[in-house]
Structure 1
Amino acid sequence: MTLISLVRHGQTDWNLERRIQGATDIPLNDTGRADARAAAEALAAGRHDAVYTSPLIRAQETAQIIAARLSLPEPAITRGLREREFGVAEGIGVSDYLARYGDWQSEVPGAETLDEVRDRALDSLERIARAARRRSAPAAESIVVVTHGGVIRALLMHVSGGTLPREGEPIRNGSVHRFVAERSTLRFLEPIVG
């Protein structure tokens, strides 16, 4: 069994402006660094063995802040944890996106579907959990994974049969959601920081 704490990266200027980031590599702002420190403090109450991160700079910086606070090695970069690619919608405001495309499930030229995001994220988490089991068998290992709102949303939808997150419920910057991976399945436990 592997405990996985999924952390959404801290705030960026584009989050503040409510612009679609997707694969665009936007750094944290000062509030985002504070979000990362707050997530690290919440995680410090437990034991963690490793930190993994999306390759995007906003996730990497969040992961580095968390790893330093938890006295863990440099985070391992995992490409499958990157944010959903939004194609032609990257950089536009959320309200413009919703007016143009209707909802987050809509097809957007050049964008990934939530199913594609879910599949690559599940594949990455399974590889992380397999590696953790090899290192720590039979004891459980606890992993911190810094990723993005779209990835966490896709995984929550998957494990809850579409009931989570609730309609209109945001995945906040710096939030922490705890899952357990065992026998090739992923199960949601609880939000630690919402």
Structure 2
Amino acid sequence: MTKIGLIRHGSTFWNQEGRAQGHTDNSLDEEGRQQAAAIAERLSGEQWDYIYSSDLLRARQTAEIIAERLGIEIAGLVPGIREMNGGLIEGTTEADRIERWGTSWKSLDLGLESPEAARIRGSQAIMDIAAKHPGKNILIVSHGAILRHSLRELVPDLSVDEVLKNTSITRIAQLEDTWSCELYNCVEHLKI
């Protein structure tokens, strides 16, 4: 059985401001670094063989903090698990979008990556990582929207309506060609 821990990156200034990030390469803020240290401490009591990260800075910084605490190298930066492309809305808040494009902005073509494209891209990247390390325990540090859409493909019966929290962990397992979810959006490490 291959086990994967899916981790959303720590907090950024844009998270705090409610700005769409997408492919914009933002760094963690101080709270995000603390969150990453907390999940790293939690994971230090478990056995993890590999850690992969999105190639975007906020995920990479989170993965680096975890990797250092666990004493393992980052096995790779994977563009396939970077956040969904936010097109023209990157850097904007909901209020900005309404001001620029009106209340029906979601119906406009603003260059956003489609949920279907994200579902295929993200789930394929996760399956590729799992295929490289059968029977191992693998951490993947990525982003909220891409992880939720990937999970829709991998574990279709799982409800992913709840938005993933910063540094939450979701554990999935692959047995032959079947994926299951053991834990979703857990942030117990932040309640210390």
Per the TM superposition, whether the score is higher than 0.5 is yes
1:61 is aligned to: 61
Matches within 5 A, 1:42-191: 42-94=42-94, 96-97=96-97, 99-102=103-106, 108-133=109-134, 140-161=135-156, 164-166=159-161, 169-191=162-184
TM-score (norm 2): 0.86
3-state DSSP of counterpart to 1:76: strand
Contact 1:9 1:58 in 2 (8 A): yes
1:136 is aligned to: none
Contact 2:11 2:31 in 1 (8 A): yes
Contact 1:9 1:147 in 2 (8 A): yes
Structure 2: gaps spanning 5 or more residues: 188-192
Contact 1:126 1:184 in 2 (8 A): no
1:48-98 deviation line (CA, Å, top 9, x unaligned): 001000000000000000011111113410110100001111111145558
TM-score (norm 1): 0.85
- Identity across the alignment (%): 34
* Cα pair distance change 1:107/1:175, threshold 3 Å: farther
1:117-154 deviation line (CA, Å, top 9, x unaligned): 11111111111111102xxxxxx210000000011221
2:190 is aligned to: none
Structure 1: gaps spanning 5 or more residues: 134-139
2:18 is aligned to: 18
CA RMSD across the alignment? 2.0
Shift of 1:188: 1.5
CA distance in 2, matches of 1:72, 1:183: 27
CA distance in 1, matches of 2:95, 2:158: 24
CA distance in 2, matches of 1:160, 1:182: 12
Contact 1:87 1:110 in 2 (8 A): yes
3-state DSSP of counterpart to 1:179: strand
Contact 2:123 2:151 in 1 (8 A): no
Q: Which amino acid aligns with 1:129?
A: A
